[in-house]
Structure 1
Amino acid sequence: MLTTIAQVGQHVGQEVRIGCWLYNKRSSGKIQFLQLRDGSGFIQGVVVKAEVGEDVWEKASQLTQESSLYITGTVRADDRAPSGYELTVTGVEIIQIAQDYPISLKEHGVDFLMDHRHLWLRSPRQRAVMAVRSEVIRAMYEFFQENGFYKVDPPILTPTSAEGTTNLFHTKYFDEDAYLSQSGQLYMEAAAMALGRVYSFGPTFRAEKSKTRRHLIEFWMIEPEMAFVDHEENLRIQEAFVSHVVQSVLKNCQRELKTLERDTSKLENVVGTFPRITYDDAIKLLQEKGSDIKWGDDFGAPDETLIAEHYDKPVFITHYPTEIKAFYMKPHPDRPEVVLCADLIAPEGYGEIIGGSQRIDDPELLEKRFAEHELSEEAYRWYLDLRKYGTVPHSGFGLGLERTIAWICGLDHVRETIPFPRMLYRLYP
């Protein structure tokens, strides 16, 4: 019966059979050291010529990088091994000998690796990132499941923009215009009025011609919406959510974080309440540091990094000017020039990972916003209905999955956080 590398610790002293690929190989004449991988992890298989038949030795000798095989061997504990175990090989069954594998173990340029992304995923580092991504998603689902949220799936094809912007991918929906979704938020608000607390998780699309290390054209968002939740409670839920995700990764992905050489002490602080700074105070802070930013300007990446440097946890920047935020955000009751919103900025220069706000619940104010933003009342009539028929205070937020993973893993660029990144001028593979 087959087992996996991740499960070999349950079979110490026993003979196991594993389906795997050869990652690397070295030989000292009478011993061959096979670095094997099977998706669940990596392990070294040791082939001793004096202990195996000529057939097994010859088959091991034929193996090339990324050849596929079944390996049989006895599991033994070894504290020096990265996995804690080694395999004393007793049998080799070749499935295929790979010829001229293009990604050798030397250094390669980014463009080359991106052209071979389908193969680059096999490397230890990329496998570790994908394992962390999987754990982040699992932990997100766990948090919402344990806190009374329902998962709802909004449409990807939409007739309008969620935020009234022009960075949309246009397509034809038979004889109508349609767009790829840039957010499921408006639909989630409708779902929250039916189910109370909901969340969606799916791909979103932004046609921004940006090439920064923080941007992807196609990325994944988790978007909760909550009825009867105000701005303050919204922030508390975000704190608990992000803390749960980070601590879950620390608990369940120690080996992957070690592969990525991540300084986990920076993540261990991500618990409890997060610091907050108002937009007003953030502007003053930046001006004190020599910035020429003015009240009413939006923050760029360097501004967010400067602010984040003052804290060892993610920090909320709250109460942005109404003029630079989306039409649906609720104004502060005592200061209508700012809205009840917050962006959560990750430490270490990773920028905004969450944007959230309390939503407008007054139908008259929402109609006024439609006019100010030149939005079609006909297209948004259904959204206004949510305020006409049983309006309640409600709030929500959106977390960008790839930026969050980049921060947790300590990566330089978001392109490594998604299996097949879609970036400006890159649609292959």
Structure 2
Amino acid sequence: MKTTISEVGKYVEQIITMGVWLANKRSSGKIAFLQLRDGTGFIQGVVVKAEVEEKIFQQAKDLTQETSLYVTGVVREDERAPSGYELSVQSIEIIHEAKDYPITPKEHGTEFLMDHRHLWLRSKRQHAIMQIRNEIIRSTYEFFNENGFIKVDPPILTGSSAEGTTNLFHTKYFDEDAYLSQSGQLYMEAAAMAFNKVFSFGPTFRAEKSKTRRHLIEFWMIEPEMAFMDHEESLVLQESYVSYVVQAVLSNCKLELKALDRDISKLEKIKAPFPRISYDDAIEFLKEREYDIKWGEDFGAPHETAIAEHYDMPVFIVNYPKDIKAFYMKPHPTRDDVVLCADLIAPEGYGEIIGGSQRIDDEKLLKDRYEEHNLSEDAYQWYMDLRKYGSVPHSGFGLGLERTVAWLSGTEHVRETIPFPRLLNRLYP
């Protein structure tokens, strides 16, 4: 029976064959222990000299790291194994012998590993992080599909930007200027006017010259947009979504979380509703703790971490000053200096994972914003049309996938949370 490591539990005490790579090995005079992987998981293969032909045992001892092979053997239950199973190997067929594999079990520097990212992905730690990433994606689709959303794909090449062109990658679109998208939000607003509740999931690009552990040049965003929904209702949806994803990872990624030594007790408490603090109160909170920050300034990583640590939960910071937020955010109904928006700050120092707001739905007010921000009415005429033809209250938000993966997996730097990271000084491999 040919199967995979993830499916071996169905074949206890049966003979199976798997295509695998050798991740590592150790051997004594009488037993060889093979650490095998096949992309679906990891398992130990045990080759006992007294139970196989001499040729097979010698073959096992001579195997080199990352050699590909077919192994045949009997699946055994073993409570000491992370997956609960191991393989008693009966025969080995080498497919391709790997020689001088560069990433050995010894310690390697980050730059070396990043230069070999195409191979580093094979490691147990990277495998676990990518599996968690996949579960976040899977459960995201499940959540929005179950809640009446449809997926709409906004363009990646745009003639204008959602938040100004300062941090955008410029390119030529034949004889026109174009930019790589930093957000699909404006297009998702148009989609929401057609389909009520929509979400997108795709790559976005920020030409920020930042080297922090929270920043990537290319990253993925989940961006829902909802017609007939106000800011408060959007916050409820956001906390429900994040709670759903956390529970899905806890339920479906037990082996991966264990492989990463993730403290799951910190994740088990993540359940809606989440605490909220106004921007005003957050400034006072930070001043009381002797942070040098003034009203009207945006929060940096130390500020967000201090606030999140106080709550030990994801926390919404609501109603930021109008002057530090995007032109499309709806003003607060009783104040003209703040807008109806919120950032969701993850605990444990992982920073902002969601930014969202209620959008301006009044044509005149949006036109005023165009003028304040020196935006071209010609470039944004289609966006104004959404306020001219059946405008409704609407809200939306964007969740950064890589920061969320980093938080749930307990990974320090976002460069490990995307298969091939694009960083300030890295476009290879």
User: What TM-score, normalized to structure 2?
Assistant: 0.99
> Hey, what does 2:316 align to over in structure 1?
316
> Hey, what does 1:187 align to over in structure 2?
187
Name the aligned partner's letter for residue 167 of structure 2. Answer: N
Q: Is the 8 A contact 2:193 2:227 kept in 1?
A: yes
> Hey, what does 1:156 align to over in structure 2?
156
> Hey, what does 2:12 align to over in structure 1?
12
> Hey, what does 1:287 align to over in structure 2?
287
Please list the CA deviations of residues 169-213 of structure 1 after superposition, one character each: whole Å capped at 9, or x if unmatched.
Answer: 011000000000000000000000000000000000000000000
Confirm or deny that 1:219 pairs with 2:222.
no
CA distance in 2, matches of 1:55, 1:302: 60
CA distance in 2, matches of 1:30, 1:258: 31
> Hey, what does 2:305 align to over in structure 1?
305
> Hey, what does 1:90 align to over in structure 2?
90
TM-aligned CA deviation for residue 48 of structure 1 = 1.2
Secondary structure in 2 matching 1:95? strand
TM-aligned CA deviation for residue 58 of structure 1 = 2.8
> Hey, what does 1:167 align to over in structure 2?
167
Please list the CA deviations of residues 360-412 of structure 1 after superposition, one character each: whole Å capped at 9, or x if unmatched.
Answer: 00000000000000000000000000000000000000000000110101111
> Hey, what does 2:341 align to over in structure 1?
341
Question: Superposed, which structure 2 residues align to 1:20-99 within 5 Å?
Answer: 20-99=20-99
| Percentage of matched positions with identical amino acids | 74
> Hey, what does 1:101 align to over in structure 2?
101
CA distance in 1, matches of 2:259, 2:26: 21
**Structure 1: stretches of 5+ with no match in the other structure:** none
CA distance in 1, matches of 2:190, 2:252: 35
TM-aligned CA deviation for residue 31 of structure 1 = 1.2
TM-aligned CA deviation for residue 313 of structure 1 = 1.1
Secondary structure in 2 matching 1:395? strand
CA distance in 2, matches of 1:192, 1:309: 36
TM-aligned CA deviation for residue 63 of structure 1 = 0.9
TM-aligned CA deviation for residue 238 of structure 1 = 0.1
Question: Superposed, which structure 2 residues align to 1:382-401 within 5 Å?
Answer: 382-401=382-401
Q: Is the 8 A contact 1:5 1:42 kept in 2?
A: yes
Confirm or deny that 1:204 pairs with 2:204.
yes
> Hey, what does 1:113 align to over in structure 2?
113
CA distance in 2, matches of 1:150, 1:26: 51
The count of residues paired between Structure 1 and Structure 2 equals 429
Q: Is the 8 A contact 1:276 1:318 kept in 2?
A: yes
Please list the CA deviations of residues 82-122 of structure 1 after superposition, one character each: whole Å capped at 9, or x if unmatched.
Answer: 22111111110000110000000000000000000000001
CA distance in 1, matches of 2:224, 2:177: 27
Name the aligned partner's letter for residue 224 of structure 1. Answer: P
Secondary structure in 1 matching 2:403? helix
Name the aligned partner's letter for residue 232 of structure 1. Answer: E
Name the aligned partner's letter for residue 304 of structure 1. Answer: E
Question: Superposed, which structure 2 residues align to 1:204-283 within 5 Å?
Answer: 204-283=204-283
Name the aligned partner's letter for residue 401 of structure 2. Answer: L
Name the aligned partner's letter for residue 389 of structure 1. Answer: Y
TM-aligned CA deviation for residue 308 of structure 1 = 0.8
Q: Is the 8 A contact 2:8 2:85 kept in 1?
A: yes
Q: Is the 8 A contact 1:228 1:392 kept in 2?
A: yes
CA distance in 2, matches of 1:49, 1:269: 49
**Structure 2: stretches of 5+ with no match in the other structure:** none
Please list the CA deviations of residues 221-272 of structure 1 after superposition, one character each: whole Å capped at 9, or x if unmatched.
Answer: 0000000000000000000000000000000001000000000011111112
Please list the CA deviations of residues 340-373 of structure 1 after superposition, one character each: whole Å capped at 9, or x if unmatched.
Answer: 0000000011100000000000000000000000
Q: Is the 8 A contact 1:156 1:180 kept in 2?
A: yes
Confirm or deny that 1:139 pairs with 2:139.
yes
CA distance in 2, matches of 1:325, 1:309: 24
User: What TM-score, normalized to structure 1?
Assistant: 0.99
TM-aligned CA deviation for residue 14 of structure 1 = 0.3
CA distance in 2, matches of 1:221, 1:35: 36
Q: Is the 8 A contact 2:158 2:180 kept in 1?
A: yes
Q: Is the 8 A contact 1:269 1:312 kept in 2?
A: no
Comparing 364-373 and 51-60, the one that deviates more: 51-60
CA distance in 2, matches of 1:54, 1:411: 44
CA distance in 2, matches of 1:162, 1:405: 25
Q: Is the 8 A contact 1:20 1:38 kept in 2?
A: yes
CA distance in 2, matches of 1:61, 1:265: 41
Q: Is the 8 A contact 2:27 2:61 kept in 1?
A: no
Secondary structure in 2 matching 1:309? helix
Secondary structure in 2 matching 1:2? coil
TM-aligned CA deviation for residue 55 of structure 1 = 2.7
